[in-house]
Structure 1
């Protein structure tokens, strides 16, 4: 049985790997580079640059304390060179991983025609097809938009922009602002509505005050025109500097037009088994919309692969942990299925304490912040917002407890490694249980 997967991002790559492990014949088709947006243009690039900004931030802190005297000289060109070098190594590993289970990796632009796929002039028949073609930056209809940069351009820059105007107010806008303000840019965020509406107000205030204090954030503003070195807004401001679009993503669903049913936003419509409206055609990853996160895309790809192989399973999106990659990580999760009423809710919040990598933050009072909402009646967690160096791992594990619907009494015997997960455990074990 021939299985064809179009797109080798997290969804397509993991689906192909899963199918190969299950002993199925697989052809994985990739238009550009294996591993998709995540490795080549997205979160891996952001994380690599944020590693640099964390180092700069820590060096500044030690200099301010007076026990280190050093001056950092940054070469953005060299940073880009080493990121690209690392990407090439990871691409080779990702290809070897897929080929190790017998999969055939083909590079070329695919098209779907009736019951076969065409690539590089060859027609390939399939029994099952997975469309995992991802998404691309959404560019709003603004005069001069061709002058705006996106995440696809980060590794094409020769130097750090002197002034950067980020159009958009979500997580990506915040992460890009943190990177370039730390690297020396004068950064302004122009949010069409509310900045960071994905997180609660207290966490947002902490981020603005403690983590990106030098970034100018303007809410409820629209950009009306862009030039090579200037941005105009509807409130009459003329902002000098380079424009950067962080305005969301649009699906690469053109390949499936008139073949499968699309949603109103042109994402591919799928059911809980990742099936499309067409027989034996599945879709996964950013092309179907929803949570545009690497772990979710992987989960969707694996779900699709197992169904393609005849091992029927359904996907669940409850309690999906999310994060902002900043100089101190910000993570959050919510149980969307909670039936807890207001009178049964209880919230405990406190500043973080000296967990991993936080000791030297105590003197300046910016160790972090955590807030956990509980369901008093059922003794469960409803929601977490956490800022700490360990929040990414903390919230990932706690989201598992939430997803598995564990009672918090089951958490009482959990033994952490010290120093590690700080405020979350203190709130749950010492203040709640």
Structure 2
């Protein structure tokens, strides 16, 4: 069979773009199809615009904190439309960079939907024709999940929140994961009255229990009406907004309902089943450690595989695929000890095992400290940071580090290097503290608390 491409990538997000550019660098003929906007979820309607929103929402507290430092801050207000315009301009700039970098690498771009029709064939919706590729890479990411309840069509998701025409005054955020908690903080900081509803007993399932409790307490202290062990039974349109009926019969009137109840792999309608590609129960593309499916010519990377849904992980998987298939250097992406951040307010930085996970594997010691950061000694804000370290007793190796507080994401990136290298508690202890900082707490915790 003659091939039009050595590689055809479906999906122009972080993982697909990295794989395409590297494969082209190895001399491969590469085609890339993207039906929405290059950059994927992270750049267009995920990490990047969300972080810009976090920055915008933080100013409400910073104005208050400034008074403690002698500043006189006058009347202030937030202009949603002005912020959205600035955000849109930045996203357009980044999208253009993604497309330009693919073009400069020699990739052929197709701004349309693509579907797999066989082990080596892809149909392009722009003209309905099939192209032939020696290898096909699925990198279509994930999509928000909304449960099937009466009135679910009245709700929005994290896809639509970035394009609302105005900031709603009353918002219900449904969900307890990192996306729900991040947007609850953002909307609260921008001035909306936020009620967060979660069916579980505590938010942020999968994170360390101390982190979960600490963040939940601070969210409530900031004015978020966080209700756990509850859920929405139905959503109805009312004259002045929406009315939620909860499972216990209670009713809640709001202007907007944001569902952040998880994401599912974006494989619907891609034709993968017809091509013989095996999918998992959530629709995820099943792959081996080399990101290869059961069809030898078809691979998949990123959130569509439901392994570890983080942008930097998708990039690593895309790079590993390109090295393996086109670089002659078999490489498997490493999914262990991946540092990550959650941009709640205050933010979370975490790497390695939680206390519960570590205790299932070994006997451990726990080092934990909560303290009022120096910034708030004059701001007057009653907000405490949390630092926690999980240490294996047998060899003193640090199995996990968990931080809640300002700049936690920046700190965990560097702590992640130490954890990945196998640092011991004594390695941390031998490191001289940088004073005065919050981060010095990581190297000054001396006595275990458990």
Give the TM-score taking structure 2 as reference length.
0.88
For 2:442 and 2:210, the matched residues in 1 are separated by 20
| Cα deviation, residue 164, structure 1 | 0.7
Alignment of structure 1 residues 319-398 onto 2, 5 Å? 319-335=337-353, 344-352=363-371, 354=373, 358=375, 363-398=380-415
* Distance change in 2, residues 1:364/1:421 (3 Å): closer
For 1:132 and 1:172, the matched residues in 2 are separated by 21
Instruction: Please state if 1:231 is matched with 2:244.
Output: yes
For 2:188 and 2:66, the matched residues in 1 are separated by 19
- Greater shift, 88-97 or 303-312, is seen at 303-312
For 2:329 and 2:217, the matched residues in 1 are separated by 50
For 1:96 and 1:85, the matched residues in 2 are separated by 17
Q: Of residues 192, 199, 207 in structure 2, which corresponds to 1:192?
A: 199
Instruction: Please state if 1:277 is matched with 2:284.
Output: no
Instruction: Please state if 1:180 is matched with 2:187.
Output: yes
Q: Of residues 280, 283, 295 in structure 2, which corresponds to 1:263?
A: 280
Q: Of residues 173, 177, 183 in structure 2, which corresponds to 1:166?
A: 173
For 1:362 and 1:374, the matched residues in 2 are separated by 34
* Distance change in 2, residues 1:249/1:87 (3 Å): same
- Greater shift, 4-13 or 53-62, is seen at 53-62
**Are the counterparts in 1 of residues 32 and 107 from structure 2 also a CA contact under 8 Å?**
yes
* Distance change in 2, residues 1:431/1:25 (3 Å): farther
5+ long unaligned stretches in structure 2: none
Instruction: Please state if 1:103 is matched with 2:107.
Output: yes
1:216-241 deviations in Å (ceiling 9; x for gaps): 11112221101231111111111001
Instruction: Please state if 1:209 is matched with 2:212.
Output: no
Give the TM-score taking structure 1 as reference length.
0.91
**Are the counterparts in 1 of residues 39 and 95 from structure 2 also a CA contact under 8 Å?**
yes
Partner of 1:300, secondary structure, is helix
1:134-179 deviations in Å (ceiling 9; x for gaps): 1111010110000001111112212211111111111111001001
**Are the counterparts in 1 of residues 391 and 425 from structure 2 also a CA contact under 8 Å?**
no
| Cα deviation, residue 325, structure 1 | 0.7
1:10-55 deviations in Å (ceiling 9; x for gaps): 1111111222233322111111100111111112121010001122
Say what the alpha-carbon RMSD is for the aligned residues.
2.5
Q: How many residue pairs end up in the alignment?
A: 429
Counterpart of 2:122 in structure 1 is 117
**Are the counterparts in 2 of residues 275 and 281 from structure 1 also a CA contact under 8 Å?**
yes
| Cα deviation, residue 354, structure 1 | 4.5
5+ long unaligned stretches in structure 1: none
Q: Of residues 382, 396, 405 in structure 1, which corresponds to 2:422?
A: 405
**Are the counterparts in 1 of residues 65 and 380 from structure 2 also a CA contact under 8 Å?**
no
Q: Of residues 262, 266, 277 in structure 2, which corresponds to 1:248?
A: 262
Alignment of structure 1 residues 37-48 onto 2, 5 Å? 37-48=41-52
1:320-346 deviations in Å (ceiling 9; x for gaps): 222211343211122489877787311
For 1:324 and 1:338, the matched residues in 2 are separated by 19
For 1:83 and 1:339, the matched residues in 2 are separated by 41
1:311-366 deviations in Å (ceiling 9; x for gaps): 211122111222211343211122489877787311111125647xx466774342
| Cα deviation, residue 385, structure 1 | 1.5
Counterpart of 2:330 in structure 1 is 312
